[in-house]
């Protein structure tokens, strides 16, 4: 079945460091891909999305490019802030009824 | 802007009791989803409803049931609660696919259920 694999966390960085969180997927057809972020004690918020190959989703300095050839959707940010500390979930949009399939999540901790 | 509203935010129950969670989707969203997130886990899809009919079913235990009402709000009923049911329960809603073809789910803040 369809699935999402993310790099394990936690990822610990200093402020202004470069961030990469790897995400690869397995899916039939051509899924839409998403990154959701979950801040402590809160629900899931959509961070960015891409719907077809070579699309780049971007928001709040975060970027991810839909790479069909490598079935990847890695999340990057050039300079992280303490406020970026959260759990990041890669997800794909699967099936005819639009449910999301999530990866295991990667916890990011950014220190001053 | 209106968001997905879930209630209660926190709920404490004893084993074998029953719990009901409520979800009020964003106005004009026609699909509601329920997810369960255990501690340190990724959200697991339970069930979804489109226009008040069950549209998809995931790893929902037989002890759980859900429905969507005429006003589009949804309720998740959980009976014979077990310790392992302690989790965050998220509701999400979505409208028909956007112009770019991506169906975006908007999540509520979640209901935290603790079973003692």
Q: How far apart are CA B31 and CA A63, in angstroms?
A: 28
Distance to chain A for B87, nearest Cα, Å: 13
Which pLDDT belongs to residue B56?
87
**Burial zone of B13 (CB within 10 Å; 0-12 exposed, 13-18 middle, 19+ buried):** middle
Do A100 and B105 make contact, defined as CB atoms within 8 angstroms?
A: yes
Mapped onto helix, strand or coil, the DSSP state of residue A96 is coil
Q: What confidence tens digit (pLDDT) does each residue in A82-107 have?
A: 999 999 999 998 665 567 889 999 99
**pLDDT-flagged residues of chain B (< 50):** none
Q: Are A21 and A11 in contact (CB under 8 A)?
A: yes
Q: How far apart are CA B33 and CA B49, in angstroms?
A: 7
Which pLDDT belongs to residue A69?
94
Instruction: Give A35-88 as a DSSP string.
Output: EEEE-TTS-EEEEEEE-STT-EEEETTEEEE-BTTTTB--EEESS--GGG-EEE
Nearest by CB to residue A98, choosing from B58, B94, B110, is: B94
Q: What confidence tens digit (pLDDT) does each residue in A69-87 have?
A: 999 999 999 999 999 999 9
Which pLDDT belongs to residue A105?
93
Which pLDDT belongs to residue B101?
56
Kind of pairing between the strands at A86-94 and A75-77: unpaired
**Burial zone of A99 (CB within 10 Å; 0-12 exposed, 13-18 middle, 19+ buried):** buried
For chain A, give the percent of residues with pLDDT over 90.
76
- Whether chain B has a CB inside 8 Å of the CB on A105: the answer is yes
Closest residue in chain A to residue B107, using alpha carbons only: A44
Nearest by CB to residue B56, choosing from A46, A51, A99, is: A99
Which pLDDT belongs to residue B89?
96
Which pLDDT belongs to residue A100?
87
- Whether chain B has a CB inside 8 Å of the CB on A97: the answer is yes
Which pLDDT belongs to residue B62?
95
For chain A, give the percent of residues with pLDDT over 70.
96
Res. A28: pLDDT tops 90: no
């Amino acid at each position: 079945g369809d699935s999402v694999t993310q790099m394990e966390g936690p990822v610990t960085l200093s402020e202004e460091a470069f961030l990469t969180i790897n995400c690869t997927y397995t899916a039939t057809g051509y899924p839409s891909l998403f990154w959701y972020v979950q801040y402590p004690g809160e629900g899931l918020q959509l961070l960015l999305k891409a719907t077809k190959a070579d699309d780049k989703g971007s928001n709040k300095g975060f970027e991810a490019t839909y790479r069909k050839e490598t079935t990847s959707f890695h999340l990057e940010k050039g300079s992280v802030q303490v406020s970026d500390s959260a759990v990041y979930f890669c997800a794909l949009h699967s099936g005819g009824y639009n449910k999301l399939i999530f990866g295991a999540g990667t916890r990011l901790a950014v220190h001053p | 802007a209106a968001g997905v509203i879930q209630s209660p935010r926190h709920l404490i129950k004893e084993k074998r009791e029953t719990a009901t969670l409520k979800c009020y989707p964003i106005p004009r969203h026609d699909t509601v989803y329920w997810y369960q997130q255990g501690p340190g886990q990724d959200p697991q899809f339970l069930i979804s409803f489109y226009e008040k009919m069950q549209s998809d079913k995931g790893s929902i235990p037989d002890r759980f049931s859900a429905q969507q009402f005429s006003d589009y709000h949804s309720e998740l009923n959980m009976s014979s609660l077990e310790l392992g049911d302690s989790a965050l329960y998220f509701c999400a809603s979505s409208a028909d696919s956007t112009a770019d073809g991506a169906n975006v789910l908007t999540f509520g803040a979640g209901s935290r259920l603790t079973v003692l």
